[in-house]
Chain A
Amino acid sequence: MKATFKNGFMLLCAAYISLPIVIVCLSALNGGRSMLFPPKDPTFARFYEFFVSEPVWLRSMENSIIVALASATLAVLITWPIAYDQWKRNTAFSKALTGLAGLPFALPPIVFGVGLSFLWTFAGGLGNIFTGILSHTALLAALPLVTISIGLQSIDRFHLDAAQTMGADEPTILRTIILPQTLSYTLSGFFFVVVLSFHEFIVIFFVSASAYSTVTLQIFNSLRNGFTPTMAVGAITFLLVSIVVFSAVARYGDLPRLLGADPARKDN
């Protein structure tokens, strides 16, 4: 009885969470231009429109991918040394850097977006995709910072001691023990940034200054004419990317551990 209630409640929550998403996905099948549910004259023509015949979507898809991959790479490259320094030395300086790197993620995004739009207005480059990349790097750097730190903390101290006893210096230990053992955590951080950058709206809205658009921006800009089924195809594409990425993270990394579950308790 208790188990039934438990499962029932969890499934109900899952249904509630999936409902709008499922509805968006099914609306992509609409034959006409308006979003009706259940879909009218179901067809896959919208997929053709999104991926082939309407170049505006492909172009924004390309921008989304460029911004996501580049900012994820940059974020990992910046946060790795910060996390390493903090783990290795734990000085006041490294603590300050860690705090600073996590700061933008903790603020209401619109405030940071406004600040970035001022920054790029003064420094030049507002509306350049390069500044969009840097902006997302700053906004989302907190994620790899956290995953890499968790990865570093999970390294077995015995391995480090053994390597040191056998005469390995810091670069060798870094290369042969630390980097391989934290690889899955680093990749998780990378993919968290990719996915969240894909979906991020408000910061890129401010820094793009309508000079280019990612898929989320393109959808928002087309809102004046209402939602159309073609946009729903974009939503489906993004949803699939998220599911694939997070499944991969769960498959190759320890997802419960990454999200803070007790490492000692493997099952219960």
Chain B
Amino acid sequence: MSDLAAASSLVHARDGTRLKGQEGPRADAVQSIGARPIIMTVIAAFLVFVFLAPILLVIAVSFGEKIEGASWVWAFDPSNYARVFVGIGWPDQITLLYAYKLGYTLAYAVLGSLIAIAFAFPFTYFLSQCSRPAQAAWLVFILASLSMSEVFIVMGWDIMLSNRSGLPALFKATGVTAWLKDTGWLAVLKDWGLANPRNVKFKTSQLATVLTMAYLVWPYAVILLYAPLSRIDRSMIEAARTMGAGSFTVMRTVVVPVVRIPVMGTLLLLFVYLLGAYVTVTYFAEPAHQTLPVSIYEAIRGATLNAPFGAAQAVVLLSTAGVFILASLWLGRLAENRGR
């Protein structure tokens, strides 16, 4: 019911704006008795209800207590957090199952975002040197690939990596597999979990997980780097060139120092985004190497059904993200101060 109330008040808010616009003097009167405060209050209430309340609820529920064989009750029980870090049997015994999951979450996200930036940075730098219409065309391409759902991307990579019709089949058909066998590399790949006795295999593997994650955020990296890179003062680059600096020197002494802070900020945002990757991990990582989002899902909606524990894991993920977002804000402020 309360959502209906929120929606109907929104409709009123909208009417208010229209009144302001369309009916000259009367709208003025309406405004003087305070249409603006009413609209803004309604919007603020809506924001608090739908934007803020979910986050507060996750925190509140994470302290709840699970009742065996039933649902859960409100409580102030920090044991869910203890379970995330040191396991349910603490202090008698320590299980690091969920700590490992957090570790995998962080590792995948760090590697994925680093790889994405490594390729997106030169691409975006070149993009910013293209003509304006060419830039617009490239941006349409990037945005279209950026909006592709994780589900579709996983579908594409699944075909590319699958044993029957993907890279392994290609390797076999072109004789790469035979060559790998002869040179002994297949055994090495097997040790890395990237091959079975007959052929290479990429599903399931950590390599596939990380590469798909990097792919997932690559377009985001381009979009985020586009603004700082396209605002670099060209005359500085030209001045350096005139004075005899090569491309590499220009990159090292002019471009990188200017965009170092936005690049760090971008890296952090990609990292935070990847912390929550779900489909990729369920599909490409084997169960022993899966991440917190997967076990959050299982606790909230899936097999284990323990909402408070799921919420506690979500809060751990959120705090991790929060620390990094604060760091990126701080970096942004640093950049602003330096700009003055």
Contacts and interface: CB of A to CB of B under 8 A. Distances in A.
Interface string A209-241: 100000010011001000100011001001100
Contacts of B55: 103, 107, 111-112, 115
B136 A256 contact: yes
Nearest to A34: B164
A179 B223 CA distance: 27
Given A97-B40, A118-B57, A262-B230, A108 B272 contact: yes
Interface stretch (A49-57, A155-163, A167-175): A167-175
Interface in A74-123: 74, 77-78, 80-82, 85, 93-94, 97, 100-101, 103-104, 106-112, 114-120, 122-123
Contacts, number: 290
B20 A201 contact: no
Interface in B1-58: 1-3, 6-7, 10, 13-14, 17, 20-22, 24, 27-28, 31, 36, 39-40, 43-44, 46-48, 50-58
Interface string A118-143: 11101111000011001101100100
Interface residues of A, number: 100
A231 B149 CA distance: 13
A216 B149 contact: yes
Contact of A115 (B54, B144, B164, B301): B54
Interface stretch (B91-99, B126-134, B182-190, B191-199): B126-134
Interface in B273-301: 273, 275-276, 278-279, 283, 293, 296-297, 300-301
B232 to A, nearest CB: 9
A36 B165 contact: yes
Contact of A238 (B140, B149, B158, B310): B149
A110 B278 contact: yes
Given A108-B275, A242-B144, A260-B230, A81 B51 contact: no
A175 B137 CA distance: 33
B317 interface: yes
A87 B119 CA distance: 36
Given A78-B10, A256-B135, A100 B219 contact: no
10 contacts: A6-B129, A24-B156, A85-B36, A103-B55, A134-B50, A202-B276, A219-B151, A219-B152, A238-B148, A255-B135
Which 7 A-B pairs have CB atoms at the shortest separation, nearest pair first?
A20-B156, A260-B227, A115-B54, A108-B276, A199-B149, A110-B276, A118-B57
